[in-house]
Chain A
Amino acid sequence: MKISARRRIVNAVMLSLSGICTLLVISVLFFILGYLLVHGVKSLDFDFFTKLPKPSGETGGGMANAIVGSGKVLLLATLIGVPIGFLAGIFLAEFSGKTFAFTIRYVVDLLNGVPSIVIGIVAYALVVRPMRHFSALAGGVALGIMMIPIAVRTTEEFLRSVPNSMREGAMALGATRAQTIFTVVVPAAMSGLISGMMLNLARVAGETAPLLFTALGNMFWSKGWLEPIATLPVMIYNYAIAPEEDLHQQAWAAGFVLLMLVLAINVTARMVINRGHASSRR
């Protein structure tokens, strides 16, 4: 009797504890969203999306250049990170033997664990130093390197989830290994691949450290790909440590925009993968 009462109490305590922690987890996101909105709402107007930053001392202005800049750097990062990671992932999933695959996977996981600031230094040494100036390209290289590990593992995972019977079916018709992979396996995994790459992009969209000394920042529009360029995370950093209250508010607003951007990519990615599942079930 006594023991069963104790068990009931322990059960009730543990259940409520885990329930409370779950609530906590969910509320963190909404807390952040609300906090950003409350602080940034004053600066979150039409100008924020269309105007350039004002010179210091003046109030108003916006972050149009940083929004476009983030887009440009992320586009470069995708063009660099996704193809490399995708092709390496194909090799890993379709061609490598067990021990070799284990080694590659281990190395890729190590690369994934490299601190982002270190990758920034690498991009600085590889691109900024030889070209003698900061640029969108350098920022794109830094973020692109950061995208590689997840791109590799995503590709491997989704290609492996394609049943072997598909490969056999294609090869039994006289398709080569490469034809099999690119005309049957990859299309079968496409929705997963796209959503995985989008999540990967969302993950690096908020990276700041590697951009500090690669893309640097810019108070004006940046022409082409070889000039220093403003990005949302670096703009947030610069404005947050500035003394003016007006700039703090703009930083909050930028934080909100960045978060919404990341969330939008995330949600779209989920929709892509769900649609892929629905169509394969049909």
Chain B
Amino acid sequence: MASPQQQQIMTRESVTRPAETAASKTPGAACKLTARNIDFFYGSFQALHSISLDVPSHRITAFIGPSGCGKSTFLRTMNRMNEALRNTRVEGELRLDGQDILSMDVTTVRRRVGMVFQKSNPFPKSIFDNVAYGLRVNGISRKSVVEEAVERSLQHAALWTEVKDKLHKPASALSGGQQQRLCIARALAVEPEVLLLDEPCSALDPIATRRIEELLFELKEMTTIVIVTHNMQQAARIADLTGFFLLGKLMEIDDTKKIFQNPGKKETEDYVTGRFG
């Protein structure tokens, strides 16, 4: 028999705990990032409706869904990128290792939760300066430290051998796939705890896409990855966990295998089997 106090604690936990999610079922994966009842508004338009989910540590979580379903909006809420847009509002609770993201210093959030965008956006600087940028704006300027971090990041992004002899060439000289890997290296340089990727392969050919997918697979050793993708095969290939968004709602999130083979909702099944979208 539990004492009344214990019972109280248990009830409170059952309130803060979400309805059973895949994260809690994934063995050995601590929860890195949690969202509870996230609503998001562009002006008076509500783009997200009460999104709750757990992002497990050192796993790849993919968000799929048709265009305009809110998956990118939600991704950009996780590192508060949407704040730069005027007339937007977010409600709910977002925690990184239990710390409240929405009340944290915004530059700290973005250093800890990195982001790679749909279209590669290298700065008009050299390859080296691109990767070093995040370190420098965060006050790390010791030459040896920066050089070491740049090399390590480029290696992690599988770009080092291709660029090591032209680090001081402009980043714009690289190919599209290389530029996207450079952006990944740039994000990795500040050692983010979570890496958000917003359709990182949508502008790339299949070979460059495959390289990035392989890369993400290796990167989950060192960080937690959340990826938005239009490409369901991509989610099926790389993600441990897949969430399906529709009309601003998270329809379901579960083990990728289950989402694609035995989804819990009819809408998900319709989408992943190509009946719409």
Which positions in A face B, CB cutoff 8 Å? 97, 163, 165-176, 179, 183-184, 187-188, 279-282
Q: How far is the CB of A266 from chain B (nearest CB, A)?
A: 25
> Which B residues lie within 8 Å of A281 (CB)?
172
- Do A171 and B84 touch (CB < 8 A)? yes
What are 9 A-B contacts with C-beta separation under 8 Å?
A: A169-B117, A171-B81, A171-B84, A173-B111, A174-B111, A175-B134, A175-B137, A183-B137, A280-B172
Kindly supply a per-residue 1/0 record for chain B positions 125-136, scoring 1 wherever the CB is within 8 Å of any chain A CB and 0 otherwise. Answer: 100000001101
Query: Known contacts A165-B119, A175-B137, A188-B123; can you find 14 more A-B pairs with CB under 8 A?
Result: A97-B86, A167-B84, A169-B183, A170-B133, A170-B137, A171-B81, A171-B110, A172-B187, A174-B111, A174-B137, A175-B107, A175-B134, A183-B136, A282-B173
| Given the contacts A97-B86, A168-B81, A183-B133, A173 and B186 also touching, CB distance less than 8 Å | yes
| Given the contacts A166-B123, A167-B84, A187-B124, A172 and B79 also touching, CB distance less than 8 Å | yes
Q: Name which residue of chain A comes closest to B116, CB basis.
A: A172
> Which B residues lie within 8 Å of A282 (CB)?
170, 172-173
Number of A-B contacts (CB under 8 A): 76
Kindly state the separation between the CA atoms of A187 and B122 in the bound complex, as whole angstroms.
Answer: 13
| Given the contacts A175-B137, A282-B173, A169 and B121 also touching, CB distance less than 8 Å | yes
- Do A163 and B121 touch (CB < 8 A)? yes
Is B56 close to A, CB under 8 A? no
| Cross-chain contact of B121 among A166, A176, A187, A280 (Cβ < 8 A) | A166
Kindly state the separation between the CA atoms of A175 and B108 in the bound complex, as whole angstroms.
Answer: 9
Is B115 close to A, CB under 8 A? yes
| Cross-chain contact of A165 among B107, B117, B138 (Cβ < 8 A) | B117
Q: Name which residue of chain A comes closest to B86, CB basis.
A: A97
